[in-house]
Amino acid sequence: MSDVFIDHLSFALGDETHSVEDAAKNGKTLSTAAVLREAGFIQHHVCRDGASAYDLAKRAVEPIREKLGDIGAIVYATCIPINGNIGSFDKYRQSRDVKHLMDFPASHLQADFGLQRAIVLGLNQQACTGLLGSLEVARMLLLTEPETRRVLCVTSDRFPTDALYEQSYNLISDGAAACVVSMEPKGYRLVAWHGITNGAMSQASDDETVGSYFNHTHRLIQETFSKAKLTIQDIAWVVPQNTNMKAWQILSRLLPIEFKRVYFRSVPEVAHLISGDNIVNLKYLDDEGTIRPGEKALLVMAGYGLNWQCVILEKR
């Protein structure tokens, strides 16, 4: 198998910052502020009125504009499918023309960043696991389409204005994340990817989602190791989604790996950035210089669908 690499990590957050207390006071959460604080959350980020998920995507890609190079494909993931259209529903209602339901942000991104050779793919049914899914789609494109040498992976979501910003007991932030996947040996080598979908639980309640979390995540990781012919001893860092910290204290005992090797330092200040958490945390880890060349990181995500995805990366 030819190797593919992930580099140029970037993210953007909703432009307004609110404390958990404000979020609870404003009716944005189901849990109390105290419970969310105990889970590890301190604040979250919300788009101002009028700002779209696409605005977030642009802000996430802008810092790596110069690094994009010859992008052959854009894989644009959204957790909430409505963020995969920036057209006006009102215009559709007025005109009854469905083109207003097909105003795709990936196409805009291609145009706005001048990525003329890029084809676009939307990924909108993997929920929080979408960004990890996009890495695998990128890998497949790179290995099967000779003219595609670089793929831009983007995930971007903002919640509807009146939505709760709590899902499965986690505090949510609007935000976007991006990275470039290529065959250029820089950044992180994509060692393995694995996913599980349990469609029968697509409309699972919050309690069912939590109820299935530990054993499915454990299975996901074991199957990923099996695929990659690795064990937990080969993993230097676990880079999970921003969820209740106790959940990973438990999972770290089950794997087992020392809890200090579970890196999700962004939980308090970023909250759960839908499918961008892994990129945010990996960027923190990278910027700090904590992860060393040759070390492997296990990126784990669970999301509605129900979907679980896992990626093993190796730092170059």
User: Using CB under 8 A as the criterion, which residues of the chain lie in contact with other proteins when the complex forms?
Assistant: 31, 35-36, 38-39, 168-169, 198, 200-201, 204-208, 210-216, 218-219, 243-244, 246-247, 249-250, 253-254
Q: Smallest distance, Å, CB 253 to other proteins?
A: 4
Structure tokens at 305: 């669908």
Query: Is residue 90 exposed (0-12), middle (13-18) or buried (19+ Cβ within 10 Å)?
Result: exposed
Q: Which residues pair with 153 in a beta bridge?
A: 75, 179
Q: Which is nearer to other proteins, 185 or 211 (CB)?
A: 211
Q: Smallest distance, Å, CB 220 to other proteins?
A: 11
- Beta strand 150-157 with 119-123: parallel, antiparallel or unpaired? unpaired
- Beta strand 43-46 with 16-19: parallel, antiparallel or unpaired? antiparallel
Q: Smallest distance, Å, CB 213 to other proteins?
A: 7
Q: Which is nearer to other proteins, 34 or 102 (CB)?
A: 34
Q: Which is nearer to other proteins, 85 or 209 (CB)?
A: 209
Nearest to 275 by CA among 250, 302, 254, 253: 302
Q: Smallest distance, Å, CB 268 to other proteins?
A: 14
Q: Smallest distance, Å, CB 209 to other proteins?
A: 9
Q: Which is nearer to other proteins, 189 or 218 (CB)?
A: 218
Q: Smallest distance, Å, CB 278 to other proteins?
A: 20
Q: Which is nearer to other proteins, 119 or 201 (CB)?
A: 201
Q: Which is nearer to other proteins, 34 or 111 (CB)?
A: 34
